[in-house]
């Protein structure tokens, strides 16, 4: 069905004049690391790893009239490895489909096109109404992040009904989401109510987001409050966001009488001028002293909030699988201590950039982090995550086109180096080095 979509769009003759506006990007990204295992002594250390991935994100908007619009998002080959879908050949004896080792091309697969979002919108004298599967975004993006940039690997999306309006520079938002669907006619859907109010101008803004989640079947109730603000004074800028989650109830895993209290936040400040600039960011995400009890305290930043090339971005330490197959892709994550997203951490992230030429910029950055909570016996004397240093060059030869290369080294702290898995062993004390090349066309 999706293969016919471009022809349908091109051949369709709408009953009324409709303007079709396209936004999106194509991104190719290659990465090379040695070694995300943080070890050269562990028997399963994977050594060098690499991949190249695609992402072609299309965000069409059908402007049906001055008051009505339809929006959508399609991702073509979302995060698909280059050469993954090799052309097949049929075995004449067994009839089995086998990937051709000598193939000069790739074939197709059912998930080459992913329908991500679709929603409608109406502008009335009483505000803007929208409904459907739409992006969720707020503030600096540590809680909700739409993931619409080429560097994004994830996105926050909800099936919701939403109303927004502005009164001069004051904005308000009210929404209802249905975030989980179980059996029909059963009270097991996770519901969500949101209300936000704030002020925004070109030089300053602030807002408060309130979100309430409830699930009657599990007696689960939770409140999230998010305060955000920013200010710009000439070349100086600053932004902050603070989040608190409070709630409790039962979980579908069978755990009952669970309580939740999670806290997270960040503040950054920087300076930009025509030749150089820099910024520094300080952030924290609460953690659990005892992850096995009935109290949830671990807050995790949205995974699109990146501070490094490897730290809080890649599963560390990852090992080679004893039995590689298509399911595990040759990797074993049984010893992984940190993944994609800042969690149970206090971090400091300064950076400095310099414009070598009008279309060429160099940037150096450093991130250092330690545990926010590590009082359990398992983390005694293992509080430091370590340090990462990155250098990148970005080249913008033409409008809408840019290339970026990044190289980095991650020096593991005691949180990794003093850890030993009962089954997979230890020795996670070696630096990891890596590089990333990105090419993007935006429109």
Do 38 and 432 contact (CB within 8 A), yes or no?
yes
Q: Hunting for tokens 């990007």 — which residue is that?
A: 25
Stretch 26-38: mean pLDDT: 96
Is residue 46 classed as helix, strand or coil in its secondary structure? coil
Q: Hunting for tokens 């004051």 — which residue is that?
A: 170
Answer yes or no: is pLDDT of 106 > 70.
no
**Banded pLDDT at 275 (limits 50, 70, 90):** very high
pLDDT in tens, 169-213: 999 999 999 876 655 555 567 889 999 999 999 999 999 999 999
Answer yes or no: is pLDDT of 12 > 50.
no
Domains of the chain in start order, with CATH, are 21-84+116-442 (2.40.160.100)
**pLDDT given for residue 96 in this prediction:** 62
**pLDDT given for residue 171 in this prediction:** 97
**Banded pLDDT at 93 (limits 50, 70, 90):** low
Determine if residue 381 is left, alpha or beta; phi over 0 gives left, psi from -120 to 50 gives alpha, anything else beta. Answer: left
Answer yes or no: is pLDDT of 33 > 60.
yes
Q: DSSP states of 127-152 as a string?
A: EEEEEEEEE---TTSSS-----STT-
**Banded pLDDT at 313 (limits 50, 70, 90):** very high
Q: Hunting for tokens 């990204």 — which residue is that?
A: 29
Stretch 143-151: mean pLDDT: 94
Do 418 and 410 contact (CB within 8 A), yes or no?
no
């Amino acid at each position: 069905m999706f293969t016919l979509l471009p022809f349908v769009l091109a051949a369709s003759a709408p009953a009324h004049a409709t303007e079709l506006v396209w936004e999106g990007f194509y991104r190719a990204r290659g990465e090379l690391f040695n070694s995300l295992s943080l070890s050269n002594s562990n028997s399963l250390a994977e050594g060098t790893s690499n991949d190249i991935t695609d992402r072609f994100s299309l965000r069409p908007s059908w402007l049906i009239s001055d008051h009505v619009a339809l929006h959508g998002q399609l991702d073509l080959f979302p995060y698909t490895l280059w050469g993954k879908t090799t052309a097949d050949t049929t075995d004449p004896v067994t009839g089995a489909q086998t990937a051709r080792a000598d193939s000069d091309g790739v074939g197709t697969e059912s998930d080459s096109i992913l329908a991500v979002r679709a929603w409608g919108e109406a502008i009335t004298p009483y505000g803007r109404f929208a409904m459907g599967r739409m992006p969720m975004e707020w503030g600096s993006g540590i809680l909700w992040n739409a993931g619409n940039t080429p560097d994004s690997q994830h996105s926050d999306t909800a099936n919701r009904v939403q109303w927004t309006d502005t009164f001069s520079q004051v904005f308000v938002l009210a929404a209802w989401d249905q975030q989980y669907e179980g059996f029909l006619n059963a009270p097991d859907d996770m519901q969500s109510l949101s209300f936000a109010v704030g002020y925004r101008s070109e030089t300053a803004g602030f807002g408060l987001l309130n979100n309430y989640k409830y699930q009657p079947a599990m007696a689960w109730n939770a409140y999230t409050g998010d305060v955000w603000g920013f200010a710009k004074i000439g070349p100086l800028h600053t932004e902050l966001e603070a989040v608190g989650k409070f709630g409790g109830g039962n979980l579908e895993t069978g755990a009952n009488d669970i309580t939740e209290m999670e806290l997270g936040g960040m503040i950054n400040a920087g300076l930009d001028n025509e030749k150089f600039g820099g910024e520094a960011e300080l952030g924290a995400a609460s953690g659990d002293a005892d992850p096995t009890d009935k109290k949830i305290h671990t807050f995790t930043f949205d995974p699109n909030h990146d501070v490094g090339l490897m730290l809080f971005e890649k599963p560390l330490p990852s090992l080679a699988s004893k039995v590689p197959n298509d399911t595990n892709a040759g990797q074993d994550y049984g010893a992984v201590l940190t993944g994609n997203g800042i969690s149970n951490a206090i971090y400091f992230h300064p950076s400095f950039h310099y414009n070598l030429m009008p279309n060429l910029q160099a940037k150096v950055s450093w991130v250092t982090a330690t545990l926010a909570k590590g009082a359990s016996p398992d983390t005694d004397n293992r509080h430091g995550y370590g340090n990462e240093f990155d250098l990148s060059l970005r080249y913008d030869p033409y409008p809408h086109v840019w290339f970026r290369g990044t190289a980095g080294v991650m020096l593991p702290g005691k949180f990794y180096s003093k850890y030993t898995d009962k089954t997979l062993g230890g020795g996670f004390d070696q630096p990891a080095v890596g590089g990333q090349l990105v090419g993007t066309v935006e429109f």
